[in-house]
Every structure is written in structure tokens, then in C-alpha cells.
């Protein structure tokens, strides 16, 4: 089993925020409605409260749906990232897996799903939990995701992982570690059919692990330790 360095998943915190937003979308108009009903027996008119309740209910219904969609997207991403970590930690003990790291350097920020470090180098694994048929070209900014209910667009993860690799290589250089970062995009769902042709794309955990282990060893044990230290203790740099 690989050595796992687990970081806090920022998406989990974001999802909690959206769930709290959903609760508020229900509570606020409900509280105003109760206030209005409670005031019906009083002499003072409660029309402003009624209008406020109606407006809040209408706005709340819209926001509730928005928060729900965003929460579901984050939930799917979190599940995909967990699946990827489960697949990566099966690697041999000589490998290190850093889960959900965040790196800052020169005003740039990279939130990664996983970084794998071994004697044969460093890999970024960007995980996507999308289902359906994924089409596009490696250079396109947007790809298409087609399911039974229709087609929608998704950002090209290859461009995302290229940017992440650039930041991670800069972090390593700052730490005195010279190492090229390999880029991998992993589709975690068995229901994904990816038609994009690129050597950095993997569907299936066995194919992902095989690709990680395929490169020949280029790093000494001391170099691996230095890289692990740099990527598990890196602090924000402005």
C-alpha cells in the first residue's frame, strides 16, 4: 500500500455552505409566513410581512435550486476524488499519495485532487466523475458531455491539469527539487465513455496505476523524500 498524505478537502467545506444556503431558503420565508399568520388577530396590518414572505419564497425557490445543483456537483466530485484515492493507495509502499493538496506561489493557486510521488517521478492526477459520452479535442476549451437527458458542456480537464503542473513544477523549483511533473486525467465513473484521444486520459483504475508505474526510476530515495517534504509542508508564497 502507498503512503497516504491526506489533506482537507476544500470542496467538502464548499458543499456544507451550499447545504446551509438551502436550509436558509426554506427557513426565512417560513419564518415570515408564521409571523404573518401569528399577527392576523392583531389590529395592525401585516401586509408588508406577507409581501416579504412571498418575495422571499419566490427568490428562495430559485436560490434553493441553484444551491442544490452546485451541491450535487460537488458531491459527485468528492465521490470521484475518494474513488481515485482508493485506487492510488493500492500502489506499492514506495509511492506517496498526497490527497487534496493546495499550493500557492507568486500569487497563483492550484487545488489538486492528488499528487503521486515515487522513484519514477511525480504525477498529478486530476479526477473527473462525469458520466455519459465525453467528446472534444485536447486543445478545445470546452468539451461536450452527452447523457440521456441531453448534452451540456464541461471545461477541458487537460487544460486544467496543464496549469496545475506548471504551478507544481514552480513549487518544486522553489524548494530546490528539479523534477518534471507528469499529467494525468482520470475518469472515475464506469459509466463514462471518453472519445477524446490523448495519452494523458485514463478510464479505469488499473490503467491509471499501470501508467503511473510505467516510467523508469529517475529519483534517488533522498530526492523522493525531499519532494515529499516540499509537497506536504509547502506554505503560501506571495
pLDDT tens per residue, range 61-90:
777 777 777 666 556 556 656 777 888 989
Are 212 and 184 contacting, i.e. CB atoms less than 8 angstroms apart? yes
Smallest Cα–Cα separation from 15: which of 77, 104, 86?
77
Percentage of the chain modeled with pLDDT above 90: 42
What are 144's strand-pairing partners?
135, 153
pLDDT higher than 80, residue 135: yes
In this prediction, residue 134 has a pLDDT band, given cuts at 50, 70 and 90, of very high
pLDDT higher than 50, residue 132: yes
Question: What per-residue confidence (pLDDT) applies to 144?
Answer: 95
pTM of the model: 0.73
- Residue with the larger pLDDT of the pair 92 and 45: 92
The angle that helices 205-214 and 47-88 make with each other, rounded to 10 degrees, is 50
Angle (CA) 145 149 151, round 5°? 30
Are 191 and 131 contacting, i.e. CB atoms less than 8 angstroms apart? yes
Q: Supply 62's cell numbers.
A: 430559485
Smallest Cα–Cα separation from 190: which of 79, 73, 112?
79
Are 114 and 99 contacting, i.e. CB atoms less than 8 angstroms apart? yes
Question: What per-residue confidence (pLDDT) applies to 125?
Answer: 94
Amino acid at each position: 500500500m502507498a503512503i497516504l498524505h491526506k489533506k482537507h478537502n476544500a470542496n467538502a467545506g464548499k458543499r456544507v455552505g451550499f447545504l446551509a444556503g438551502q436550509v436558509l431558503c426554506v427557513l426565512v420565508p417560513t419564518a415570515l409566513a408564521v409571523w404573518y399568520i401569528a399577527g392576523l388577530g392583531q389590529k395592525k396590518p401585516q401586509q408588508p410581512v406577507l409581501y416579504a414572505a412571498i418575495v422571499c419564497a419566490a427568490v428562495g425557490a430559485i436560490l434553493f435550486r441553484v444551491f442544490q445543483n452546485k451541491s450535487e456537483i460537488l458531491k459527485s466530485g468528492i465521490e470521484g476524488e475518494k474513488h481515485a484515492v482508493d485506487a492510488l493507495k493500492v500502489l506499492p509502499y514506495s509511492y506517496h499519495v498526497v490527497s487534496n493538496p493546495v499550493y500557492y506561489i507568486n500569487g497563483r493557486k492550484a487545488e489538486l485532487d492528488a499528487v503521486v510521488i515515487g522513484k519514477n517521478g511525480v504525477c498529478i492526477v486530476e479526477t473527473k466523475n462525469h458520466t455519459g459520452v465525453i467528446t472534444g479535442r485536447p486543445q478545445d476549451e470546452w468539451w461536450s458531455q452527452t447523457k440521456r437527458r441531453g448534452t451540456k458542456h464541461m471545461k477541458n480537464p487537460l487544460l486544467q491539469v496543464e496549469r496545475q503542473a506548471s504551478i507544481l513544477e514552480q513549487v518544486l523549483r522553489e524548494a530546490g527539487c528539479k523534477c518534471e511533473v507528469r499529467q494525468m486525467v482520470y475518469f472515475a465513473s464506469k459509466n463514462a465513455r471518453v472519445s477524446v484521444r490523448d495519452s494523458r486520459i485514463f478510464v479505469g483504475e488499473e490503467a491509471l496505476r499501470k501508467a503511473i508505474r510505467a516510467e523508469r526510476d529517475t529519483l534517488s530515495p533522498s530526492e523522493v523524500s525531499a519532494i515529499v517534504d516540499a509537497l506536504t509542508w509547502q506554505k503560501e508564497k506571495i
